Structure 1
Amino acid sequence: MIQQIEFSLKPVSRGFHLVTGEIVRQLPPLPRTGIVNLFVKHTSCGLCINENADPDVRTDMKKIFDRLVPENQPYYEHTMEGSDDMPSHAKSVMSGVSLTIPVSDGRLNLGMWQGVYLCEYRDCGGPRRIVATVVGE
């Protein structure tokens, strides 16, 4: 069985946002065993899995990424879309734009403290399109 759907996540501000529940609500019924691949169709955001309990982790991740890839650097050539645009492309490469998550007993098989993050690197990124591909039996 292979299913594929596309849906939007609601717009969020710049930062790391726990979106596990929002994604699960959009998915079709999951197979007993399989995988789900999530792919975000944008070049200025990303997806990752990280801590789902303490919101300080999300705040710290934003600070780390902003320090690693600062805005307004004199060596940036791609600057016409705002000071957050080029850094957002670099951060997207760092976090990645897709995840593959195992499915067990009809549910995402994430660890107890794991959640799916939308990593929004733009100040106003807008709704983000996700393609979810479910493979299983």
Structure 2
Amino acid sequence: MFYQETLTISTPGRGCYDLGGQVHSCVQRSGIVRGICHLFIRHTSASLMLCENADPDVQSDLEAWMARAVPDGDSLFQHTAEGPDDMPAHVRSVLTHSDLNVPVQNGVCALGQWQGIYLWEHRHAPHERQVMLTIYGEAA
């Protein structure tokens, strides 16, 4: 059996946004108790990540590292159609993940104690992002 749903997430700008509650609700609606939850972001300037959920400094540190590795306005980039964060956002999404697979066990995502599911917005401007979830497995 499989179930599919698309989440729409409004991001006010660059940063990490916790999707755990929305993903958990989707898995519950699916009725699947054992299987895989596949998440796919339908954008090229945002990404998905499995990250520590206890200390927000981890996400700040990741953002600081990424800002150093792929700075906005770098003269290396020719593609600046939507501003100085345009091409860096594309590079950031290529370096990270556009999809995740999470096991489903007993009707919930079987994440580790300190793991959370996040959308990582790489643009400064607000965006509406779509994350498609496909849940495969055995129903109750």
* Aligned mates of 1:122, 1:102 — CA distance in 2: 30
TM-score, normalised via structure 1 length:
0.94
**Structure 2 residue 24 is the aligned partner of structure 1 residue 14:** no
Q: Percent identity over the alignment?
A: 38
* Aligned mates of 1:74, 1:64 — CA distance in 2: 19
Unaligned runs of 5+ in 2: none
Find the counterpart in structure 1 of residue 137 from structure 2: 136
* Aligned mates of 2:74, 2:62 — CA distance in 1: 21
Find the counterpart in structure 2 of residue 122 from structure 1: 123
- 1:42 aligned counterpart, secondary structure: coil
* Aligned mates of 1:26, 1:106 — CA distance in 2: 10
The structure with the largest strand share of the pair is 2
After alignment, is 38-47 or 73-82 more displaced? 73-82
- 1:32 aligned counterpart, secondary structure: strand
Aligned-residue offset at 1:30: 4.1
- Count of residue correspondences: 137
TM-score, normalised via structure 2 length:
0.92
The alignment yields a C-alpha RMSD, in angstroms, of: 1.3
Aligned-residue offset at 1:2: 1.1
